[in-house]
């Protein structure tokens, strides 16, 4: 394994130390752990010859200029925020690979500039809105997202100010598409397809579209011992029926998925009939019309169940990202690098969302997937083998050394 690949593996381990949870990796956006990770990434970017800054929305941006003025910029990115009890590779791998590939070409004059970006808000776990870091660069940042609040009532605006950012300048982070060669992201597959096909790497064809939201159900709290069953407006029993209905709708399309990942019963207690519940919903598909149909079916199921049970329920969509096809020119350049690095070319869609989808229809984007063991992700067992990391680094280094010639 090259020293570069070994350094990537070592840095991923080191980055694990930046966590807000004892004995697990939890690094929510704009948290103390995110600040520590941003500090490590800044030092590594500087060692790779990049000029580094923290931008207006919490991204760490490392930049190197081109050999000639007025050249366009290639952006290499991924995210360093994580879910709770996360794995070490989701997002982090793409950032550390980008830094290492820049170190590899540090002394080589290139006909384009490079920016490596460690986005700070891809997972959308702390605030209901997400992808704010990549949307800022894509020029689609929504100022309303600054008013999103976390579970403690802290707004994104206040969290950014405390992080040392100036959110009033978020719109200034937009990159000019005419001055941008494209956006590329290397990421673990987070699924089992590469492993089943015994491949280290895959070329992404498109990123599935996704919608997320929150369902609130208002029933009537009551005494678990005295309230007769036929008089109840049990918000949790209604939620349970809605969860199963959403699962059924998710099964109605071959590549459609629908998930309720979180359910809350405020003031829940063993001897109280639940009066209120809140549940999350996440719906994805490679076809936007199928995702819209599924959302309509979910709304209809919510209305049917709520009416039958005499409770009030509504679905508020907080995130809606259309499917994002990957750019043909950048993907062809990656295909050439696969060939030069002796990797069979295997194309697959992404069921997971990524920062790359923020650039849809504005800046060309392409992604390369790295095999992950068992397809497991969003869990501590998430794992990418050093040999596969080395393969990804070799392809990225080849891509950087050749992309300018083909543009
Ligand atoms: O949820 C996703 O697809 C991504 O991991 N944030
Ligand atoms: Mn990710
Ligand atoms: Mn993730």
Who lines ligand 1 at CB under 6 A? 122-123, 352-353
Ligand 3 ion: residues within 5 Å (CB): 90
d(CA 38, CA 205): 30
Q: What is the pLDDT of residue 129?
A: 86
Closest CA to 218 of 243, 241, 236, 242: 236
Q: What is the CATH number of the domain that holds 68?
A: 3.40.630.10
Which atom of ligand 1 is found nearest the CA of 91? 5
Which of residues 321, 341, 372 is at a domain's end?
Answer: 321
Ligand 1 pocket test target in 91, 133, 185, 353 with most atoms within 8 Å of CB? 353
Q: Which residue has the tokens 């049990």?
A: 234
Which atom of ligand 1 is found nearest the CA of 90? 5
In this structure, the answer to whether residues 222 and 329 fall within a common structural domain is no
Facing residues of 264 across strands?
278
In this structure, the answer to whether residues 247 and 112 fall within a common structural domain is no
pTM: 0.88
pLDDT of 1 > 90? The answer is no
Q: Which residue has the tokens 């019309």?
A: 289
Question: From the CA of 398, how far away is ligand 2's center (Å)?
Answer: 23
d(CA 31, CA 19): 9
Question: From the CA of 234, how far away is ligand 3's center (Å)?
Answer: 34
* DSSP class per residue in 336-405: HHHHHTT----EEEESS--GGGGGTTTS-EEEEEE--GGG--SSTT----HHHHHHHHHHHHHHHHHGGG
Q: Atom 6, ligand 1: which residue's CA is nearest?
A: 123
User: Could you tell me the pLDDT band of residue 404, with boundaries at 50, 70 and 90?
Assistant: confident
Q: What is the pLDDT of residue 61?
A: 98
Cβ-proximal residues to 396 (8 Å cutoff; 6+ apart), any chain: 76, 97, 98, 101, 184, 186, 337, 368
Q: What is the mean pLDDT of the chain?
A: 96
Which atom of ligand 1 is found nearest the CA of 351? 3
pLDDT digits (tens, 9 = 90+) for 288-323: 999 999 999 999 999 999 999 999 999 999 999 999
pLDDT digits (tens, 9 = 90+) for 193-225: 999 999 999 999 999 999 999 999 999 999 999
Residue 204: both structure tokens together: 């992404």
pLDDT of 406 > 60? The answer is no
d(CA 9, CA 216): 43
Q: What is the pLDDT of residue 254?
A: 87
Q: What is the mean pLDDT of residues 75-99?
A: 98
Q: What is the mean pLDDT of residues 51-76?
A: 96
d(CA 286, CA 27): 29
In this structure, the answer to whether residues 314 and 335 fall within a common structural domain is no
Question: From the CA of 236, how far away is ligand 2's center (Å)?
Answer: 32
User: Could you tell me the pLDDT band of residue 189, with boundaries at 50, 70 and 90?
Assistant: very high
User: Could you tell me the pLDDT band of residue 2, with boundaries at 50, 70 and 90?
Assistant: confident
Question: From the CA of 352, how far away is ligand 1's center (Å)?
Answer: 5
pLDDT digits (tens, 9 = 90+) for 336-368: 999 999 999 999 999 999 999 999 989 999 999
Which of residues 304, 321, 338 is at a domain's end?
Answer: 321
In this structure, the answer to whether residues 343 and 250 fall within a common structural domain is no
Q: What is the mean pLDDT of residues 375-403?
A: 97
Ligand 1 pocket test target in 80, 123, 127 with most atoms within 8 Å of CB? 123
* DSSP class per residue in 155-188: BHHHHHHHHT--GGGGGGG---GGGEEEEEEEEE
Which atom of ligand 1 is found nearest the CA of 79? 6
Which atom of ligand 1 is found nearest the CA of 284? 3
In this structure, the answer to whether residues 292 and 401 fall within a common structural domain is no
In this structure, the answer to whether residues 275 and 360 fall within a common structural domain is no
d(CA 212, CA 104): 39
Question: From the CA of 82, how far away is ligand 2's center (Å)?
Answer: 8
In this structure, the answer to whether residues 53 and 158 fall within a common structural domain is yes
In this structure, the answer to whether residues 284 and 378 fall within a common structural domain is no
Q: What is the DSSP letter of 16?
A: T
Number of domains making up the chain: 2
Q: Atom 4, ligand 1: which residue's CA is nearest?
A: 353
Closest CA to 368 of 342, 348, 344: 348
In this structure, the answer to whether residues 154 and 203 fall within a common structural domain is yes
Compute the CA torsion angle 229, 233, 239, 240 (nearest 10 deg).
10
Percentage of the chain modeled with pLDDT above 70: 99
In this structure, the answer to whether residues 201 and 220 fall within a common structural domain is no
pLDDT digits (tens, 9 = 90+) for 239-289: 999 999 999 999 999 889 999 999 999 999 999 999 999 999 999 999 999
Q: What is the pLDDT of residue 405?
A: 61
Q: Which domain holds residue 33?
A: 3-207+324-406
Residue 41: both structure tokens together: 């990434």
With contact defined as beta carbons under 8 Å apart, do 400 and 115 qualify? no
pLDDT of 335 > 60? The answer is yes
Question: From the CA of 190, how far away is ligand 1's center (Å)?
Answer: 9
**Angle, alpha carbons 102-191-326 (nearest 5°):** 55
Q: What is the pLDDT of residue 83?
A: 97
In this structure, the answer to whether residues 173 and 230 fall within a common structural domain is no
Question: From the CA of 304, how far away is ligand 3's center (Å)?
Answer: 33
**Angle, alpha carbons 247-250-254 (nearest 5°):** 140
Facing residues of 85 across strands?
none
Assign 131 to helix, strand or coil. Answer: coil
- Measured from the alpha carbon of residue 86, the closest ligand is 3
Strands in 68-224 per DSSP E? 73-79, 113-119, 180-188, 201-207, 209-218, 222-223
Which of residues 321, 352, 374 is at a domain's end?
Answer: 321
Angle between helices 386-402 and 92-104 (to 10 degrees): 50
**Angle, alpha carbons 30-11-121 (nearest 5°):** 25
d(CA 263, CA 220): 17
Q: What is the CATH number of the domain that holds 295?
A: 3.30.70.360
In this structure, the answer to whether residues 151 and 297 fall within a common structural domain is no
């Amino acid at each position: 394994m090259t020293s570069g690949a070994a350094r990537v593996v070592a840095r991923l381990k080191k980055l694990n130390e930046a966590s807000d949870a004892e004995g697990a990796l939890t690094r929510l956006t704009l948290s103390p752990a995110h600040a520590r990770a941003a500090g490590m990434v800044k030092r590594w970017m500087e060692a790779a010859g990049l000029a580094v800054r923290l931008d207006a929305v919490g991204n760490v941006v490392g930049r190197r200029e081109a050999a000639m003025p007025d050249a366009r910029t290639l952006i290499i990115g991924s995210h360093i925020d994580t879910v709770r009890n996360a794995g070490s590779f989701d997002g982090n791998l793409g950032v550390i690979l980008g830094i290492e590939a820049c170190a590899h070409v540090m002394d080589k004059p290139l006909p384009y500039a490079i920016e490596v970006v460690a986005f700070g808000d891809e997972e959308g776990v702390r605030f209901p809105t997400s992808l704010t870091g990549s949307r800022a660069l894509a020029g689609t940042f929504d100022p309303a997202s600054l008013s999103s609040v976390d579970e403690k009532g802290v707004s994104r605006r206040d969290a950014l100010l405390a992080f040392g950012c100036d959110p009033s300048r978020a719109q200034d982070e937009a990159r000019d598409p005419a001055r941008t060669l494209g956006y590329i992201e290397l990421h673990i597959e987070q699924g089992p397809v590469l492993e089943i096909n015994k491949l280290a790497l895959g070329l992404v064809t498109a990123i599935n579209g996704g919608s997320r939201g929150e369902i609130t159900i208002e029933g009537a709290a009551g005494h678990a011992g005295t309230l007769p069953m036929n008089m109840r407006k049990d918000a949790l029993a209604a939620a349970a029926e809605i969860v199963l209905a959403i699962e059924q709708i998710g099964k109605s399309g071959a590549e459609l998925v629908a998930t309720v990942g979180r359910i809350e019963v405020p003031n829940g207690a063993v001897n109280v009939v639940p009066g209120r519940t809140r549940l999350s919903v996440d719906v994805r598909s490679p076809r936007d019309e199928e995702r819209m149909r599924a959302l309509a079916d979910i709304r209809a199921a919510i209305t049917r169940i709520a009416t039958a049970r005499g409770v009030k329920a509504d679905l508020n969509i907080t995130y809606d990202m259309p499917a994002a096809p990957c750019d043909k020119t950048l993907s062809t350049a990656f295909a050439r690098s696969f060939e030069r690095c002796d990797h069979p070319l295997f194309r697959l869609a992404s069921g997971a969302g990524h920062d790359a989808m923020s650039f849809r229809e504005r800046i060309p984007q392409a992604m390369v997937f790295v095999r992950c063991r068992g397809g497991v992700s969003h869990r501590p067992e998430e794992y990418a083998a050093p040999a596969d990391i080395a393969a990804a680094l070799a392809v990225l280094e080849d891509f950087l050394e050749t992309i300018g010639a083909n543009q």
